[in-house]
Amino acid sequence: MKYDFDEIIDRRNTNSFKWDSTQHVEDVVPMWVADMDFRSADPILHALDKKLQHGVFGYAHVPDAYYEAEINWWQKRHHYQIEKEWIAFSPGVIAALAAILQAFTNPGDHILIQSPVYNSFYTTITNNGRGIVENELINDGMSYEIDFEDFEAKASDERVKLFVLCNPHNPVGKVWRKDELERLSAICRKHNVLVIADEIHRDLVFDGQPYIPFAAIDRMNSITCTSPSKTFNVAGLKTANMITANAEYKKKFKQVLLVNGMHEPNVFGVEALIAAYTEGEEWLDQLLVYLKANRDYFLSFVQDKLPDLKVIAPGSTYLMWVDCRNTGIGSQELSRRLLEEAGLRINEGSIYGKAGDGFIRINIGCTRAVLADGLTRLEKFMTAMK
């Protein structure tokens, strides 16, 4: 069937974190937190409606169909074979990260990340009493690359116990190549650093670029975290998976999930994942076409009308990472002024680490009309600054 991604769905007054949490400014276009404004795939809606009509929402277990859907999706979509025994349910990728930190590290241990990177890595690590070590990515104006010398120097510190990889990378949209993943793996193996791969954006890759699971490089020294949440816009259903071929690793983090009461699934989340991974591919294929067109529209608009801004075309995600350093305004101040003066809410780059100051992150997972409105507001603001 043909899906209409231009359909305007009013999310105001629905307890939407994205749309309803900016109450002090009227007429806001929210292009910040990473969820999309599109109705999810019909098979998911039908599965949830069937569960709703049943009318009983007691405790659930994870059925075989859930594992089969996850396994088949990996094989069909990403040509990678996993086993049922490798999979453990988690209520979210960040919840999974917290459980892994508690299972494999101690307070005071250091965790290696590659900045600028997803802001929840920072809060989860610090909230668990672990230290943060940043391997700052290199921005050459055309792409982001890894500073491998710096990475190894930091991985070699005996206090560094764990590396959190974002693959594909949020917020810069980089899809890591096989040779890059192999080099990261070799360094982590050499220095006994466990790799946690956040691969929540694995399905949102453009231009025929190959997404390579880190586990395809090293499945025994890694734990992969995935979810249908970003792909199918079901983040509120709190369903994710932790995947590893290392039975000892799985045993350790499952014990932490049990101790923290994070082992029981959301009854709707189970049905959503099964429907998404068994019947949602047609919707996803159409979504990717629409998101790519949004990306190209954004890039063209910036090139034509916002010469003071620079954008590296992302190979993945629906998030645009915008270099605003030519404005001379820090990202926190720029974010505040965009909201108050233009009614445009975006994410300030500084929350993604010191390498993000001077940047902003803009969510283009919206209708073309909303995207055009947001960019027009950005253009008017930039023009008024001159």
The model's pLDDT over 286-309, given as tens digits with 9 standing for 90+, comes to 999 999 999 999 999 999 999 999
Rounded to 5 degrees, φ, ψ at 183 are -70, -40
Amino acid (1-letter code) at residue 353: G
Q: What is the pLDDT of residue 94?
A: 96
Looking at CATH, the fold of the domain delimited by 56-279 is given as Aspartate Aminotransferase; domain 2 (3.40.640)
Q: What mean pLDDT, rounded, does the chain reach?
A: 97
Neighbour-count burial for 297-330, b at 16+ CB within 10 Å, e otherwise:
ebeebbeeebeebbbbebbbbbbbbbbbeebebb
| 142 pLDDT above the threshold of 90 | no
Cα gap 245→223, rounded to integer Å: 8
| Domain 17-41+281-385 class in CATH | alpha beta
Please classify residue 334 by burial: count the beta carbons closer than 10 Å to its beta carbon, then call 0-12 exposed, 13-18 middle and 19+ buried. Answer: buried
HSE, side-chain direction, 13 A CA sphere, residue 28 = 22
Q: Mind giving me the DSSP string for 34-48?
A: S--SSPPPHHHHHHH
Cα gap 343→22, rounded to integer Å: 10
| 26 pLDDT above the threshold of 90 | no
Helices (H), the chain: 17-20, 42-54, 64-78, 93-104, 119-127, 148-155, 178-190, 229-232, 247-259, 267-279, 281-305, 331-342, 368-385
Q: Mind giving me the DSSP string for 100-160?
A: HHHHH--TT-EEEE-SS--HHHHHHHHHTT-EEEE-PPEE-SS-EE--HHHHHHHHTSTTE
Q: What is the pLDDT of residue 282?
A: 98
pTM of the entire structure?
0.96
Over residues 49-64, the mean pLDDT reads 96
Cα gap 191→159, rounded to integer Å: 11
Q: What is the pLDDT of residue 385?
A: 83
Is 359 strand, coil or helix? Answer: strand
- In the chain, where the domains are located: 17-41+281-385, 56-279
216: CB partners within 8 A, 6+ apart = 80
Over residues 347-375, the mean pLDDT reads 98
Q: What is the pLDDT of residue 25?
A: 83
CA distances from 108 to 100, 111, 155, 158, 190 (A): 15, 10, 16, 12, 22
Is 73 strand, coil or helix? Answer: helix
| 386 pLDDT above the threshold of 80 | no
Q: What is the pLDDT of residue 23?
A: 81
